[in-house]
Structure 1
Amino acid sequence: MNSSEQFEVEWTVVGSDIGPLFLAATGEGLVSVVFHADGAVRDRVLDRLRARLGAEPVEAPGSARLAEPIRQLAAYFAGELRAFELPLDWSLISGFNRQVLRELAATVPYGSVVGYGELAERVGQPGAAQAVGAAMGSNPLPVVVPCHRVVESDGGLGGFGGGLETKRMLLALEGVLPRPLF
């Protein structure tokens, strides 16, 4: 793959159990997942990708780069997939935030949760629970890098960029919370 192919950004919007998801990939892998991807959200994400990656994102619903992320997300929402196996492009996140998100992806499996403080300890930064919360808020790959699995130490849900109802739905899908009755 040449360097121009690596930095091309292809994107699409797909339906899911939690609403439309914006997906973007580069030659390195999946680079962005965004909740509630209506027109205004999609336009803001495209502007941000242009600025951060220095490339013009191309709509590519049939893209080979996006086919496997789409397949795995559909399997996840169908309850058939518990661990994503996708190449990820981490270029939208760096430093402490990247370290925390990589730790989360590697050590907090489907159907489990971790506290903000515990995750801070795991990356060698005890007392950095608020910074872990900020890292979760900056996660460019939610669902795939499961920031919904990070909760408050007292059992509260904590925050979530996709909204607390979305976080509840994802945790219910994974069996952490009961499914709503209606």
Structure 2
Amino acid sequence: METAECWDIAMHHKDGPVLLVLSRQAMPALPRDHGAENLSARGGYIVKGATGARRATLIATGSEVSIAIKAQAMLAAEGIGVAVASVPSFELLARQDHGYRMEVLGEAPRIGIEAASGFGWERLLGDNGTFIGMHGFGASAPEADLYKHFGITPEAAVAAVKAKL
């Protein structure tokens, strides 16, 4: 759904370049109930809200959203409420009003999850955020092996949230 929404945004974008970066691996479908609204058009949105008070926000893009959802379930089992936000476009999210950005990103600690470098993530994570991702390039292996090597796992996200709390 998110890929189709972003394709629609790209087809109507007239004032600059657009890049769609897609994963090669199979991804689980992300169920959403939002009617006809293109949630990606605002740059980011809450995929799954926190159960109870939001104590942190897990922010991911693309294939890493499924890692965030798994981490959210693990934290919920321990009574720790976190929200999961998908941010397919940092630029579109930055154009939204402050209230909407805070609705998506929250005031609680933010944990970014991305199978890439952390360059640019400081804009979303702020001074108290944590980035989980790649800190080097050139590795080649199956996806699961690379994610484990770089620590891009639900367990790493759980540990990062607990460290902030």
Normalising by structure 1, we get a TM-score of: 0.26
Normalising by structure 2, we get a TM-score of: 0.27
The structure whose RCO (Cα within 8 Å, separation 6+) is larger is 2
